Structure 1
Amino acid sequence: MHYHISVSDPQSRLLEITYNIPEISSDFIEVQLPAWRPGRYEIQNFAKNIQFIEAISEGNQKVPLHKVTKDRWRVGTAGLSEVSIRYTYYANIQNAGSSYIDSELWYLNFINFCMYTEGRIQEPYTIRLDLPEGYQIACGLPSSGLNTLSARDFYQLVDSPLLASQSLQKCEYHVRGVHFKIWMHGNLKPNWRRIERDFRRFSREQIAMMQEFPEKDYHFLNLILPTAFYHGVEHQNSTMIVLGPDDEGEGLYADLLGVSSHELFHTWNIIRIRPKELLPYDFTKENYFRTCFVAEGCTTYYGDLFLKRAGVFSHDTYIKELQVYMKRHFETAAYATQSLADSSFDLWLDGYEKGIPNRKVSVYHKGALAALILDLYLRKKTNHAHSLDDVMRLLWVRFGKPFIGYTLEDYIQIVEEVAGESLEWYWHDCIFTAEPLENRLNEALAFVGLQMSTFSNGNIQLNVLDDFKAKLQRDKWLSTSQVLSIEEEEE
């Protein structure tokens, strides 16, 4: 399969795309444009951005083409061994899952506009880009020539966003044999020394905890806007992050650290440790699953925890971040009627919208608090001999590394194996019912000398108790998990 992408008029925001399909041996084929993208579990109907489409033969003759669904086309190919689909796609949105072009930047998420041929989704792809002279490419896909990329199959292609510009900025570092690249586009002058130091620290901490990294290289792709924005999306060996405003203040840097650590942990948790219902992705419809509280809740919990363990966050900074999750849950959804598991399933319904009052909970915020409760319970029961770290490593070894997908029952079994007991109270109170979380949360927090207070006006405050024994437990909980050699420390 081969894609050719060009832009004749950047101000039109139109990508001009040719999709060449060789080795045809049937009277018709069907081509499908994805209806959604990984990392955002809602139907997005990218086909609405296709302005023009046609099919042509090798002799440049028009070939019969008609829609059979909102995002699938049937192409008449009797007597033909190769056809090309030519179309234009409107690329004018700047979030972490979209595509955008102007006179200075190509920002492409191939999932938005690339089609696959039914029955041939696992074939390799080549992508040729007619980029302006002097453009540099930032992308997780390997290069196979000048402005040419290759993907082993459609799944890799659409899990590899791209930035291309003359003004890309970059720094690189290595941790435990993994080559990391941080790319920036925007009106700012990054403090690369500080960024490299802090990124190296949390990258090293994550790899030390999980004991290996799934990829040989990894790309942090950052689009920095002049206006306020916060969005990140995980990918196979990269993350796409859109932040703003570009005032280079501490707020922007804190956001960069938080979202980058979160997205890096997704390289294990959802990219490889993936719910069975999402393996493989079906891009034509909803892929319902009830474990997004694991995929997003545990990742949200660990994102900031890794920054504390790595010494990037102080104790006070980490406690403030914990309070943020608590406020977002308790001040908006403390008495919601849906459980975490049901809200995971209903992401496809309205998971990314505000929704009606007191119906759903956030798999990110309540999911992170449920992960916190479980982690502290396991630590208290075993005097820190076991924790949620063990759960994540077992998920990786048994389901992520062999890439076979886990079920909700698999997650329950691993958690209870680490606990050495049934945890019916946890599943009932935290995961499968709408039981208010405050009592369970404060039981867990007491172990490490913290207490959440709820005021009559609805405000939430996290207090640090002056208890020496609890402080020792808190220090063990937040301490580094990495064991470094002298060479790694110097690296």
Structure 2
Amino acid sequence: MPHYRLSCQNPLSGFLQVQTFLENLTQPELFLQLPAWRPGRYELQNFAQKLQGFSVVAPDGSPLPVRKETKDRWRVDIQGNPRIEVRYNFYARQMDAGGSWVAPDFLYVNPVNCLLTASGLEQEPCTLALDIPDHWQIACGLPTTAAQTLQAENFDHLADSPFITSATLQHQAYEEQGHLFHVWFQGACQPDWEQILPHFRAFTRAQLALFETFPVKDYHFLNIILPYQHYHGVEHLNSTVITLGPAEQLMSPTLYKELLGVSCHELFHTWNIKQIRPQEMLPYDFTRENYFRTGYVAEGVTTYYGDYLLARSGVFTADQYFQELNTVLKRHTVDQGEQHLSVADSSFDTWLDGYKPGVPDRKVSIYHKGCLAALVLDLEIRRTTQNARSLDDVMRRMWQEFGQPGLGYTEADYQRLAEEEAGQSLEPYFREMIFGTASFEPWLQAALDYVGCTLHKEPAALAYESVYGFRLNPALPTIPVVGYVVPDSPAAAVLSVDDELVAVNGRKLENGNLQHLTKGQQKLEVTLFRQKTLQTVTLSPGPQLFLPQYSVRKNPSATAEQQENFRQWLHQEFREPVKVQAATVV
């Protein structure tokens, strides 16, 4: 039974001291493996690069021979010792929902970052002891078996159970269908529990109604609220870590909306990816890439439901939901990647460059394109069945037929269930929206029409984007540097990414005046620096508008049937009730 211990001699150093005790050993040699990636982020992260001072010792403290076999695998000569201790320091200075962080006043750890396992002992029960002050609380999905000690069923269970511990944790809980849901906050924030708990209850209740049963006994929302702007969330077996900021704005409309959205999203993952898992990831292999092509299900469907269920449960108004949907549209259309790589192939390539901007126009996001694809599929199933079936039924069957029995699903399984619920072939949808590079526009427009909504397409607000086809780099707000160029646009013939624009038609660019100097102009003489060399190029308007803006809106002319379809879909009335102003008594 492996035993782990974490301590910290100097929190300011950023290093955690990690000890692993392995007992009842009989083999002549042992292989130790540190994970190379973590669930929820499908790329190699090579956590071994954060280890320092790796050693293995016998019970008497004498060192044992160790040889590194791969970047994160070690071979140990046991030399007949039935018990060994592995020691190293881990640099815990990654503050996001998938990292680990040590500070004088709190400790946050994702065990998958820093704990290793021994070959052959992966399925053994294990414990994790924390060397922390007695008065600190521990927020974690694992049970506590002794003071400051967590118990896990096996290494995967431990690796998938992050924790926060401090003396300043804020905590409340609510119960739904016999399951306890814990909400934890760490940070200098003031959560309004009277507002938070009813909203969390609402979307939790909606998810439980959709899937009918819950995969785990209890659940923990582990929120780290930071003193600066931040947004990230990662799903786990019976918990999620969410990092947000700035702390003083937690209950502001903008940041609170983000808290609700990411919390609903991550809870949905408790079924979709933690239990409903692709065949290629059952079980996880932490030593290498686990290639899979169904990220559009794991993340795309979850992104759709993360906002949609907030509207369906009454937490969001329809307008608030459309605002979130319009943000997805904006992010999806930031470039022309949809024309070059399908969302299924982009799922496979998360292991290559899925979490970086990458080269221009190469791929799509499994979150954004996957969300739009899920919306289209949901409304298409509703249309073909006159609202008798929906994507809810597909996901419920995914849970019942694959998640509950512990079976991995394939692309073909997902398509089969979708077609069975739709009552007809969905081959054109899967060929174009999932496996192809067709535009999303006709599919989404047709889907929205069923519920009395329209997809609006308007020129970009900035003239140089719409007329000439280039966008500035938003990371350099004070310097006009080209960040993106639309292929086959006027800009594509004369501009390149990273060009630093100096002047337009003889006028110096300063104080954000590029829009003013380009609006309504027929020809631009642009002076720029390219690789530190001054040049002048000429830009003329193209035959079409580039970088359009998309938005979803209700159609004022929607029929009664369309309005009823809207109500069936969003569980809200198409037309909001008119507020009657109270009469003034004189």
> Do these two structures clear the TM 0.5 threshold for a shared fold by scoring above it?
yes
Alignment equivalent of 2:386, drawn from 383, 386, 397: 383
Corresponding position: 1:84 with 2:92: no
Corresponding position: 1:471 with 2:563: yes
Q: Distance in 2 between matches of 1:335 and 1:314?
A: 30
CA-to-aligned-CA distance 1:389-427 (integer Å, 9 cap, x gap): 000011000000011111111111111111121111011
Taking the TM superposition and a 5 Å limit, the aligned residue runs for 1:13-24 are: 13-24=14-25
- The alpha-carbon deviation at position 454 of structure 1 amounts to 2.2
Corresponding position: 1:425 with 2:515: no
CA-to-aligned-CA distance 1:54-98 (integer Å, 9 cap, x gap): 100111111111211111111111211111101110101110000
Q: Distance in 2 between matches of 1:331 and 1:41?
A: 22
TM-score w.r.t. the length of structure 2 is 0.81
SS in 2 for 1:354: coil
Corresponding position: 1:367 with 2:400: no
Amino acid at match of 2:376: I
Corresponding position: 1:48 with 2:138: no
Corresponding position: 1:407 with 2:410: yes
5+ long unaligned stretches in structure 1: 481-491
CA-to-aligned-CA distance 1:309-353 (integer Å, 9 cap, x gap): 111001111111111111111233464300011000000000000
Corresponding position: 1:355 with 2:344: no
SS in 1 for 2:316: coil
- In structure 2, what is the equivalent of residue 269 of structure 1? 272
SS in 1 for 2:222: strand
Question: Any conservation in 1 of the 2:337–2:363 contact (CA below 8 Å)?
Answer: no
Q: Distance in 2 between matches of 1:333 and 1:192?
A: 43
- In structure 2, what is the equivalent of residue 488 of structure 1? none
Question: Any conservation in 2 of the 1:36–1:283 contact (CA below 8 Å)?
Answer: yes
Taking the TM superposition and a 5 Å limit, the aligned residue runs for 1:137-148 are: 137-148=138-149
Q: Distance in 2 between matches of 1:61 and 1:462?
A: 68
Question: Any conservation in 2 of the 1:331–1:459 contact (CA below 8 Å)?
Answer: no
User: 1 or 2 for the larger relative contact order (CA 8 Å, sep ≥6)?
Assistant: 1
- In structure 2, what is the equivalent of residue 172 of structure 1? 173
Q: Distance in 2 between matches of 1:411 and 1:463?
A: 30
Q: Distance in 1 between matches of 2:9 and 2:362?
A: 48
Question: Any conservation in 1 of the 2:337–2:360 contact (CA below 8 Å)?
Answer: no
- In structure 1, what is the equivalent of residue 301 of structure 2? 298
Amino acid at match of 2:564: L
Amino acid at match of 2:55: E
Aligned length: 480
- The alpha-carbon deviation at position 231 of structure 1 amounts to 0.4
Q: Distance in 1 between matches of 2:335 and 2:201?
A: 35
Of 69-78 and 467-476, more deviation after overlay is shown by: 467-476
Question: Any conservation in 2 of the 1:246–1:252 contact (CA below 8 Å)?
Answer: no
Corresponding position: 1:459 with 2:460: no
CA-to-aligned-CA distance 1:122-143 (integer Å, 9 cap, x gap): 1111111000231100000011
- In structure 2, what is the equivalent of residue 158 of structure 1? 159
TM-score w.r.t. the length of structure 1 is 0.96
Question: Any conservation in 2 of the 1:99–1:107 contact (CA below 8 Å)?
Answer: yes
5+ long unaligned stretches in structure 2: 460-465, 467-547, 573-586
CA-to-aligned-CA distance 1:460-486 (integer Å, 9 cap, x gap): 222210114222211110118xxxxxx
Corresponding position: 1:10 with 2:102: no
Q: Distance in 2 between matches of 1:336 and 1:81?
A: 59
Q: Distance in 2 between matches of 1:217 and 1:23?
A: 33
Of 446-455 and 326-335, more deviation after overlay is shown by: 326-335
Question: Any conservation in 1 of the 2:337–2:362 contact (CA below 8 Å)?
Answer: no
SS in 2 for 1:418: helix
SS in 1 for 2:188: coil
- In structure 1, what is the equivalent of residue 448 of structure 2? 445
Structure 1's consecutive aligned runs of 4 or more residues displaced over 3 angstroms after TM superposition are 333-336
Q: Distance in 2 between matches of 1:382 and 1:143?
A: 49
SS in 2 for 1:179: strand
- In structure 2, what is the equivalent of residue 61 of structure 1? 62
- The alpha-carbon deviation at position 235 of structure 1 amounts to 0.3
Corresponding position: 1:320 with 2:410: no
Q: Distance in 2 between matches of 1:182 and 1:441?
A: 36
Q: Distance in 2 between matches of 1:403 and 1:412?
A: 19
- The alpha-carbon deviation at position 455 of structure 1 amounts to 2.6
Q: Distance in 2 between matches of 1:196 and 1:83?
A: 47
Corresponding position: 1:232 with 2:233: yes
Amino acid at match of 2:550: I
Corresponding position: 1:104 with 2:196: no
- In structure 1, what is the equivalent of residue 523 of structure 2? none
SS in 2 for 1:247: helix
Cα distance, 1:414–1:335 mapped onto 2, change above 3 Å: closer
Question: Any conservation in 1 of the 2:36–2:48 contact (CA below 8 Å)?
Answer: yes
Alignment equivalent of 2:289, drawn from 270, 286, 294: 286
Cα distance, 1:245–1:326 mapped onto 2, change above 3 Å: same
Question: Any conservation in 1 of the 2:338–2:364 contact (CA below 8 Å)?
Answer: no
- In structure 2, what is the equivalent of residue 489 of structure 1? none
Q: Distance in 1 between matches of 2:286 and 2:324?
A: 35
SS in 1 for 2:334: helix
Question: Any conservation in 2 of the 1:451–1:465 contact (CA below 8 Å)?
Answer: yes
Amino acid at match of 1:407: T
SS in 1 for 2:333: helix
CA-to-aligned-CA distance 1:30-60 (integer Å, 9 cap, x gap): 1000000000000001001101111001111
CA-to-aligned-CA distance 1:154-179 (integer Å, 9 cap, x gap): 01001000000000001110001010
CA-to-aligned-CA distance 1:100-123 (integer Å, 9 cap, x gap): 011111000000010000122111
SS in 1 for 2:339: coil
Question: Any conservation in 1 of the 2:265–2:302 contact (CA below 8 Å)?
Answer: yes
Q: Distance in 1 between matches of 2:288 and 2:101?
A: 25
Amino acid at match of 2:553: N
Question: Any conservation in 1 of the 2:25–2:82 contact (CA below 8 Å)?
Answer: yes
Cα distance, 1:104–1:247 mapped onto 2, change above 3 Å: same
- In structure 1, what is the equivalent of residue 505 of structure 2? none
Query: Percent same amino acid among aligned pairs?
Result: 47
